[in-house]
Structures are given as structure tokens and as C-alpha cells.
């Protein structure tokens, strides 16, 4: 008998769990085996406080080349202007946003961001944020239109005038529509604000031109761009901060020694592999170009939403990106529904919706995303069938047994690279 310790057993269990369930978490994905391999590589052993060619430890000849290469690859993919630099050391998106605050904000400055229930993010400041001890915050909102909720540009301008924020955050975690960075950046700059674009969810779309970019020259470009690397970019759990070059010295100082010690070189190496797959110099196991992959993510999301609507589910706004947002009927408890779906092998997350009337723990919506299952080879017809199954569960028109069989058949038909 082969001995397996508890952590080994849990790891094996998790592998089986992920393979046999259908992951619709919009903020998760499946990196390539080569990307994952580097997270457990020899790079984990290095300590490299500082930056390339300016380290506080000896022995970083290869480390310097690695970090410089990943920086250049990130700029090659995202920046067409030549006006930006990048720091690839941040460990997560929330801490990356905080680093930008530390770079440019003084005590008492105001941050303007989208309201949390309308699709903003916890790290963009809100009433329970620890940063509210130091900074003020205000929110702009969405406007209900015939084709769903859209950014209320009149409210955006009004809040800029009324609050005079030092920095405006453009970027969201549960907003299914496209939006124009250039327009919103220009308006913010006209009102004396700096702009932080958080593209954590849509960075894969931005990288291949499937969404408007914040990397623009002059006032139409964001001053800072933050992205995680594990969502639609399909890399490791880490983050990058881009900034106009005039802000890079202050930003680098805010990263080290301001808020971090030695960078995690295994994450940086893994990120480099993912970026090579984005650029086409390396390939994901399915052999699709990254552009084709993102195009399929969008098709699958729309097909998933089509199936939901066909089976009677309500949508907050028709999707234009990698995620869709369901508005549950008042009699459905979102926590119970999330747990019920998980028991049937469908992994989702409950989520607030615009003008939320319920609590954050039991909000009125469910958020679904197609990036992870697309990495496993999901096709639009399968995505539509999955949407029909979920909508039927919401409306109690199908038995759990039928859905369990559907999930088993679909998950077993999808690719698994681990």
C-alpha cells in the first residue's frame, strides 16, 4: 500500500473534485501545466529584495534576467504607447490596489469608485474597508436602461465635481457590460483626478483587443493599471501594476521597501510562462491561440446566458464579456441556492446586484463565468445546455437527479490536463 499523508490526500481529493465539478466562478481559471509547474520550481528558493541589477542579496544573476524578461513581456502585450512601466512583484490584486493608494494618496484624500453592489470590488474602498480609516470614499452608480444596467455617466460626472477625488477607480468585479476607458479617463482627468484602472477580470480580453484598453496616451490613458493574473489571463495567483513612467519611481518604492519584502520569484516565473502563452510564443495544451480562447470565452458566456433566459432566469444585463449576473426571485435564498448547485456539481458564487436590498451574506444574485470551463474545452452548445440546467433548477422544473447526471456526463467529456 502506498502511504499518502493528509495533505497529499487532500490534494488528490481536490484534483478529483475540480475535475468532476463544473466551475463557473468568474474569477477562477485553469493555468497550463507548465505554468503550474513553475510555482513549485527552484525559483521558490530565492530571496531577491529590490529590483533587477539593484538587489540587497547576492546570487541573483538569473533572477534579474527573469524579472526583466517578464516585465518586458507584460509591456509588449499590453502597452502600445511606450508610456508605461510595470512592477510584477505584487502578490494579489487587492494588495496591488492598496500599493497604488500608498503611492499617490495622502491622509484624508478621496477615492471615487463604483458602488460595491453595482459591481465594484471590496478593495476599491467601501464602508467596511480598513482604508476608510485613512481615506474618504465616494461611489458612482449604474443607471437602469432598456438593455440592462449601464454606468450612469451623469452621476459619474456629478460625483467627480462634488467630491473632488484624488483618484478614480475604473474597473469592476461583477459588471457584465463593456465600457470605454478612454472616455472615463478623459473626464476624470478634466476634473483633476488621477485614474486607477482595475482590469483584473478583463485583462485577458484587453490583451487581445476584445475590450477597450486603459493603456492610452495622454489624458485618455489611465495613470495606473492593476490586474490579477489568474482570471481571464489564465496565469498564477499574482498581480501586476502598470503606471505611467512618471509614477514608476514612487510606485516601485511603495512596493519595496514600502509594503513588501522579497518578491516571490516562483510566481514571477509562472507569470512569465502565462504571458508567453498569451503572446503565442508558447501554447496552452488545447493548441488554441489565446485570441481564439478569449473569443470562445465570450461565445460560451453568451450561450450560457441564452440557456438561462430560455429556462426563465432573469439577467441583470445582457453580457458582453466573460461573466453574467443572475437576478434571483425574492423567494430564493442565494446562499441556499449556491449550496444546492454545489451539491449537484455546479460551482457558482452568490453576488450582489444593482440596488441590492438584501444582505451581503445572502444577496439577490448569482455570478457565473465561462473562462475556466472554456479552458477545459467547453463549447457553446454545451454552455447553453448548462444554462438551461441552472435556470431549470432556479425555477424548480427539473429534478436534482437529472442535473446530477447531466453534470457527470458533461464534466467527464471535458478535458483535464492535470
Q: What backbone phi and psi angles, to 5 degrees, belong to 148? A: 105, -175
Alpha-carbon distance of 82 to 79, in angstroms, equals 6
- The predicted-structure confidence for 250-260, as pLDDT tens digits, reads as follows 999 999 999 99
Alpha-carbon distance of 176 to 202, in angstroms, equals 10
Hunting for cell 502578490 — which residue is that?
91
Which amino acids are annotated catalytic? Answer: 47, 49, 198, 228, 231, 237
- The predicted-structure confidence for 268-281, as pLDDT tens digits, reads as follows 999 999 999 999 99
Query: Class for domain 37-107+163-279, per CATH?
Result: alpha beta
Cβ-based neighbour number of residue 87 at 10 Å: 24
- The predicted-structure confidence for 224-247, as pLDDT tens digits, reads as follows 999 999 999 999 999 999 999 999
Domain ranges of the chain: 37-107+163-279, 288-413
* Residues paired with residue 270 on neighbouring β-strands, in sequence order: none
Hunting for cell 430560455 — which residue is that?
310
288-413 topology per CATH: 3.90.1150
Alpha-carbon distance of 321 to 231, in angstroms, equals 13
Supply the DSSP string of 148-171, one letter for each residue. Answer: EEEE-HHHHHHHHHHH--SEEEE-
Alpha-carbon distance of 359 to 38, in angstroms, equals 40
The whole model's pTM is what? 0.96
Helices H, strands E: what count in the chain? Answer: 14, 17
Cα maximum dimension of the chain: 70
- The predicted-structure confidence for 271-322, as pLDDT tens digits, reads as follows 999 999 999 999 999 999 999 999 999 999 999 999 999 999 999 999 999 9
Q: How many CA atoms lie within 13 A of 171 on its CB side?
A: 29
Q: If we measure between CA atoms, which residue out of 123, 153, 125 comes closest to residue 139?
A: 125
| Whether residue 89 has pLDDT greater than 90 | yes
Amino acid at each position: 500500500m502506498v502511504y499518502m499523508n493528509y495533505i497529499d490526500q487532500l490534494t488528490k481529493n481536490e484534483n478529483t473534485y475540480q475535475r468532476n465539478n463544473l466551475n463557473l466562478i468568474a474569477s477562477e481559471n485553469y493555468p497550463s501545466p507548465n505554468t503550474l509547474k513553475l510555482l513549485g520550481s527552484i525559483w521558490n528558493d530565492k530571496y531577491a529584495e529590490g529590483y533587477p541589477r539593484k538587489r540587497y542579496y547576492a546570487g541573483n544573476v538569473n533572477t534579474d534576467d527573469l524579472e526583466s524578461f517578464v516585465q518586458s513581456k507584460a509591456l509588449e502585450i499590453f502597452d502600445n504607447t511606450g508610456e508605461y512601466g510595470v512592477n510584477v512583484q505584487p502578490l494579489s490584486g487587492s494588495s496591488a490596489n492598496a500599493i497604488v493608494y500608498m503611492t499617490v494618496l495622502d491622509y484624508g484624500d478621496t477615492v471615487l469608485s463604483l458602488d460595491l453592489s453595482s459591481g465594484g470590488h471590496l478593495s476599491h474602498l467601501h464602508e467596511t474597508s480598513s482604508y476608510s480609516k485613512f481615506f474618504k470614499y465616494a461611489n458612482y452608480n449604474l443607471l437602469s436602461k432598456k438593455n440592462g444596467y449601464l454606468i450612469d455617466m451623469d452621476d459619474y460626472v456629478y460625483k467627480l465635481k462634488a467630491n473632488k477625488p484624488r483618484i478614480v477607480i475604473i474597473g469592476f468585479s461583477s459588471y457584465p457590460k463593456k465600457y470605454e476607458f478612454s472616455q472615463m479617463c478623459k473626464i476624470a482627468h478634466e476634473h483633476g483626478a488621477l485614474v486607477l484602472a482595475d482590469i483584473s477580470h478583463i485583462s485577458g480580453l484587453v490583451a487581445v483587443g476584445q475590450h477597450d484598453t486603459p493603456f492610452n496616451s495622454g489624458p485618455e490613458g489611465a495613470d495606473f493599471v492593476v490586474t490579477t493574473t489568474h482570471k481571464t489571463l489564465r496565469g498564477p495567483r499574482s498581480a501586476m501594476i502598470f503606471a505611467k513612467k512618471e509614477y514608476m519611481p514612487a510606485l516601485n518604492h511603495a512596493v519595496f521597501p514600502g509594503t513588501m519584502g522579497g518578491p516571490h520569484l516562483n510566481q514571477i516565473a509562472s507569470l512569465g510562462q502565462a504571458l508567453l502563452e498569451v503572446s503565442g510564443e508558447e501554447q496552452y495544451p488545447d493548441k488554441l491561440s489565446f485570441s481564439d480562447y478569449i473569443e470562445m470565452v465570450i461565445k460560451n458566456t453568451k450561450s450560457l446566458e441564452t440557456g438561462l433566459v430560455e429556462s426563465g432566469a432573469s439577467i441583470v444585463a445582457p453580457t458582453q464579456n466573460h461573466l453574467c449576473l443572475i437576478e434571483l426571485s425574492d423567494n430564493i435564498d442565494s446562499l441556499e441556492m449556491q449550496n444546492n448547485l454545489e451539491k449537484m456539481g455546479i460551482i457558482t458564487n452568490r453576488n450582489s446586484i444593482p440596488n441590492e436590498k438584501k444582505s451581503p451574506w445572502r444577496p439577490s444574485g448569482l455570478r457565473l463565468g465561462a473562462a475556466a470551463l472554456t479552458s477545459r474545452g467547453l463549447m457553446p452548445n454545451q454552455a447553453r445546455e448548462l444554462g438551461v440546467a441552472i435556470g431549470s433548477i432556479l425555477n424548480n422544473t427539473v429534478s436534482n437527479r437529472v442535473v446530477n447526471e447531466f453534470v457527470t456526463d458533461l464534466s467527464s467529456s471535458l478535458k483535464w490536463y492535470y
